[in-house]
Structure 1
Amino acid sequence: MAIFYVYILRCSDGSYYTGVTSDIENRLLEHQTGFHKDSYTYKRRPVELVFYTDFSDINMAIEKEKQLKKWSRLKKGALIDGKFEDLVNLSKKDFIR
């Protein structure tokens, strides 16, 4: 059974990159070496793997990747730091009344 990984990298400029792969070690190596010259991380190396989780269903992994890409920097930081109790509050929006 194949395993798929959703991962977050911290780039040298402090930004986060979120991706999905079936081979996390090879994909991390590609990011670190600049294998894909047109990629987001190419000019933001070195990168550091700060979070990953695995899935047995590629569709679920892609869905989670898309979800994480929409999260704020603060919410991604809470996930990376394991502050799961903060995730709900970081999802709430302040609406002007």
Structure 2
Amino acid sequence: MPSHADWFVYILQCADGTLYTGIARDLARRLRQHNGELAGGPRYTRGRRPVRLLWQETASDRAAAQQREARIKRLPRPAKLALVGG
């Protein structure tokens, strides 16, 4: 079970089929923001709701999460889908 100090890197699928990659400390709260249940969601997903979580992984700290997020964002869509499916 992840500790409260963990960070999460995640990939969402938006209603229009696009993928969104992000990081969060409280993933459940962040998903509620993405879906408009709580204030504070990113502009990208605001017009592409509902979103659903496809993939997540933990990172030991914010820096590690941001580095992993950046690497994933550079991947082409087929590689992201392979990551999600694997």
TM-score normalised to the size of structure 1?
0.79
Shift of 1:36: 3.7
Q: Which has the higher contact order (CA 8 A, sep 6+)?
A: 2
Shift of 1:55: 1.1
Alpha-carbon distance in structure 1 between the residues aligned to 2:76 and 2:14: 16
Count residues in correspondence: 82
For residues 66-81 of structure 1, the aligned pairs below 5 Å read 66-81=70-85
Q: Which runs of 5+ in 1 are unaligned?
A: 83-97
The CA RMSD measured in Å over matched residues stands at: 1.5
SS at match of 2:20: strand
The structure that has the greater radius of gyration is: 1
Pairing partner for 2:30 from 27, 39, 42: 27
Q: Give every structure 1 segment of 4 or more consecutive aligned residues whose post-TM-superposition deviation is greater than 2 Å.
A: 34-38
Alpha-carbon distance in structure 2 between the residues aligned to 1:16 and 1:46: 12
Asked whether the equivalents of residues 36 and 42 of structure 1 are also in contact (C-alpha less than 8 Å), the reply is no
Quote the residue 1:64 is aligned against: 68
Asked whether the equivalents of residues 4 and 58 of structure 1 are also in contact (C-alpha less than 8 Å), the reply is yes
Quote the residue 2:6 is aligned against: 3
Query: Which whole-Å deviations, capped at 9, do the CAs of 1:35-90 have from their partners, x for residues lacking one?
Result: 347610000000000000001121111000011111111000000001xxxxxxxx
Q: Percent identity?
A: 39
Quote the residue 2:43 is aligned against: 39
